[in-house]
């Protein structure tokens, strides 16, 4: 029978060491040997402890809060539930979606629990890849995206979630597709029959059976046979996955 190793949680000092080592991983002034040694220290530390945040509960009120891996309070126990807890690495965030009185809002994860966005949403889920919250509101089953300040960026018309592909996120309804450039935050709402995203290529959009490209700055669709790359200015850059 396979045994699952239960990792203990780090101390505050180990959390600080983790952050310091991670920062050193990107120090280009270190020698190759020094970089290798730091990478090994970081690997050992990372694999030895459970770095995820966790929920705690006030036994008197039943309300919930969030602590980091070392047990420090990020959000006080003043809320009903949370949709995303995060961790000390890839899923680190300074704010959390919290539920209160059956609605979701956004609160600070700095120990205060300060309400940043009131509880007007039906549901919120942090999407670390998009850097926004997937959101439900107005009792609709379709979702949209809002930023950490609660501003609607993508209206609640989407029906399917797609994982990022080469720095872009496909926005999809039952009938059409749009796209969000995760590097620039520019987007096109779903109006295209198909969108082809390949590495180091211009992104191909299909509309009314015509293939072409879309200018990021303006959203203008240019049929492929009308696209003149040599005479395009920097302001006419089309959606692409070039590195």
Is residue 4, in this structure, part of any structural domain at all?
no
Q: Where are the alpha helices (DSSP H) in the chain?
A: 12-24, 32-48
pLDDT digits (tens, 9 = 90+) for 87-134: 887 788 999 999 999 999 999 999 999 999 999 999 999 999 889 999
Q: Model-level pTM?
A: 0.87
Is residue 42, in this structure, part of any structural domain at all?
yes
Q: What is the mean pLDDT of residues 178-198?
A: 95
Is residue 131, in this structure, part of any structural domain at all?
no
Number of helical H runs and strand E runs in the chain = 2, 18
What's residue 151's pLDDT?
95
Rg of the chain over all Cα atoms, to the nearest angstrom: 22
Is residue 223, in this structure, part of any structural domain at all?
yes
Q: What is the mean pLDDT of residues 202-231?
A: 94
What's residue 100's pLDDT?
97
- Report the distance separating Cα 232 and Cα 234, nearest Å: 7
Q: Average pLDDT of the chain?
A: 93
Is residue 182, in this structure, part of any structural domain at all?
yes
Closest CA to 106 of 139, 146, 72: 146
Distance between first and last Cα of the chain: 46
- In 42-127 the beta strands, taken as DSSP E runs, fall at 54-57, 64-67, 73-79, 81-82, 95-100, 103-108, 115-121, 123-127
- Report the distance separating Cα 8 and Cα 52, nearest Å: 11
Q: What is the mean pLDDT of residues 145-170?
A: 95
Q: Evaluate if residue 168 carries a pLDDT over 80.
A: yes
Only one residue has tokens 């990478």, namely: 39
Higher pLDDT, 243 or 198: 198
* Residues spanned by the domain of 231: 159-243
Q: What is the domain count for the chain?
A: 2
Is residue 56, in this structure, part of any structural domain at all?
no
């Amino acid at each position: 029978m396979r045994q699952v190793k239960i990792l203990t949680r780090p101390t505050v000092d180990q959390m600080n060491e983790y952050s310091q080592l991670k920062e050193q991983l990107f120090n280009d002034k270190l020698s190759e040997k020094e970089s290798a040694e730091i990478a090994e220290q970081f690997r050992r530390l990372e694999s030895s402890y459970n770095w995820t945040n966790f929920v705690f509960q006030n036994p008197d009120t039943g309300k919930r809060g969030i602590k980091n891996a070392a047990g420090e309070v990020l959000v006080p126990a003043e809320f009903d539930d949370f949709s995303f807890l995060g961790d000390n690495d890839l899923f680190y965030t300074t704010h959390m979606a919290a539920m209160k009185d059956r609605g979701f809002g956004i609160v600070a994860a700095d120990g205060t629990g300060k309400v940043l966005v009131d509880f007007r949403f039906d549901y919120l889920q942090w999407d670390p890849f998009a850097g926004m919250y997937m959101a439900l509101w107005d009792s609709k089953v379709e979702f949209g995206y809002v930023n950490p300040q609660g501003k609607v960026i993508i209206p609640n018309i989407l029906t399917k979630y797609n994982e990022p592909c080469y720095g872009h996120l496909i926005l999809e309804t039952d009938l059409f597709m749009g796209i969000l450039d995760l590097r620039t935050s520019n987007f096109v709402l779903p109006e295209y029959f198909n969108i082809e995203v390949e590495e180091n290529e211009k992104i191909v959009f299909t509309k009314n059976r015509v293939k072409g490209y879309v200018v990021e700055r303006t959203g203008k669709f240019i049929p492929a046979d009308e696209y003149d790359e040599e005479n395009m200015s920097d302001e006419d850059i089309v959606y692409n996955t070039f590195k």
